[in-house]
Every structure is written in C-alpha cells, then in structure tokens.
Amino acid sequence: MRRYDLLIPLWLMAATVQAGGHFDVDDAFTLDPGQCQYELWGGRFGDEPVTDIHLGPACRVGPVELGFNFDRYSVPGLHGVVLGPQVKWTYWGQGADSRFAAAMSAGVNVDVTHGGYTGGQVLLPVSWRALDSLWIHANVGADWSTVTGERTGRGGLQGEWALNDKWSLMFERFRAFGFWTSRVGARFNVTPLISVDVTAARTSVAGSPRVYVIGLNHEFKAP
C-alpha cells in the first residue's frame, strides 16, 4: 500500500476521542471522586512503519471525568498531531457492586498540524456484568473526522474476562468510519492501580496489516 493509503485509517482513528484508551469499545465507568489517571500507549503497523503515540490524562471533577487527549501519528517523513478535551459521565451504576452501568461521553479533537481541522465524538457506553469474571461492554455513537469532516456512526461490542486478579483477556468487534475492526488482547495488573495492555487488531481495509499496541494505565489520588 502507498504511504497515504496506510495513513488514512490511522488519521481517522487518531481524529477520534480515545475514550477507552486504545480500545475502541469503552466501558461505562468513570474514576472515583478524588482520583486521576493517565493512559500512555503506542501502536505500530506496516513495514515503513506507521506509528501512533497517545497520552491521555484525566481526573474526576464533581460528577464527571474530565480528560485531555494527545495523539501523534506518523510514517517516516510525514506526521500529524491531534489534541482535544473529553468529558464522561456515568449516570447509572457507578457503585463497585453494580452489575449494570450506563454513561455518556463527548469530546472535541483538533488536528493542529493540518490546518486546525476540528472533529470529535459522542458515545453512549453500557456495561453488564454477565458473570463474576466476565464484563460485556457495548457502545453506540458517532464520530466527526478531522480528516474528511464527515459524520459517521460507530458501534461495537467487547468481552472482558478476568482469569484471576492479575490477568484479563479482551476481545472486541466494532465498526467506525465505515471500517470493521477486530481486536484481541491481554491485560496484566502490576498493582491494583497500574496495568499493562498488549493487543493486536486488524481492520477490513484491503491489505491492511495487523496493528500492535502496548499501553500503560496508571490511576492515582488527585494532588
């Protein structure tokens, strides 16, 4: 594939608010009062290679979670930076013993390297604890791309299965920007507040290679 062809799906994904870290299906939970977190991850695919680096700090402020996303995507000789704020509100089932939760999230992103074009996302995530060790997450919403300016619908389903206190397995299938994507991965809980994710994904784009991502999630008490 040509460099521009490879970058189209990456531009589209980077132009989207990263509500669930590098997972495209978000859960319906927000941070507890007085807590903050950051998500740091990097993805890579192709022979050139194509890369995306993401940093997303967030804190609980009153009833909502406020975050800010930074993404840098590139191939050799060509790159872009997307920035933007995000808000998320769990309006049902925030308690630790809840078996069902529902939320709303929205955000705006600006491509600061290609004319300052603005995009964003609105999302309605729901989460259901089907078993003590199994969560099912479902999303429906819409994206506004900083690349094309078009509004497209999105939706998806994710299963999160806890093998024990340390290890979880995830699988998700979703559609965004007209592409279907499948992702599988594992999460290792270093501590109750620090975890590492490793995943692989592939889109329905013809000739698309697998995308490999490693991410770090760290929750901490607000200063």
Measured torsion, CA atoms of residues 81, 84, 19, 64, in degrees rounded to the nearest 10: 160
State which of 47-56, 71-80, 132-141 shows the largest mean pLDDT. Answer: 132-141
The mean pLDDT of 74-100, rounded to a whole number, is 88
Banded model confidence at residue 222, pLDDT cuts 50, 70, 90: very high
* Residue 187: predicted pLDDT: 97
User: In the predicted model, what is the mean pLDDT of residues 81-92?
Assistant: 93
Q: Please provide the average confidence, as pLDDT, over all residues in the chain.
A: 86
What percent of the chain lies above the pLDDT cut of 70? 87
- Indicate whether 97 pLDDT > 50: yes
pLDDT digits 0-9 by tens, 119-140? 889 999 999 999 999 999 999 9
CA separation for the pair 219, 66 (Å, rounded): 14
Higher per-residue confidence, 121 vs 95: 121
The CA angle 196-100-126, to the nearest 5 degrees, is: 65
Across 107-126, average pLDDT: 86
Residue 52 has pLDDT above 80, yes or no: yes
- pLDDT of 49 higher than 80: no
Summarised one tens digit per residue, pLDDT across range 185-214 is 999 999 999 999 999 988 877 667 788 899
pLDDT in tens, 136-191: 999 999 988 877 778 889 999 999 999 999 999 999 999 988 888 899 999 999 99
Go through the domains of the chain in sequence order and give each one's CATH number.
3-221 (2.40.160.40)
pLDDT at 9 over 50: yes
Gyration radius (Cα) of the chain, Å:
17
The two counts, helices (H) then strands (E), for the chain are 1, 12
125 cis-preceded (ω within 30 degrees of 0): no
Beta carbons within 8 Å of 115's beta carbon, 6+ residues apart? none
pLDDT at position 203: 82
User: Residue 146: what pLDDT?
Assistant: 77
CB neighbour class for 53 (10 Å; exposed up to 12, middle 13-18, buried from 19): middle
Contacts 24+ apart (CB under 8 A), 200-206: 203/9, 203/179, 204/179, 204/180, 205/8, 205/9, 205/179
| pLDDT at residue 1, as a whole number | 41
Task: Region of 177 please: left (phi>0), alpha (psi -120 to 50) or beta.
Answer: left
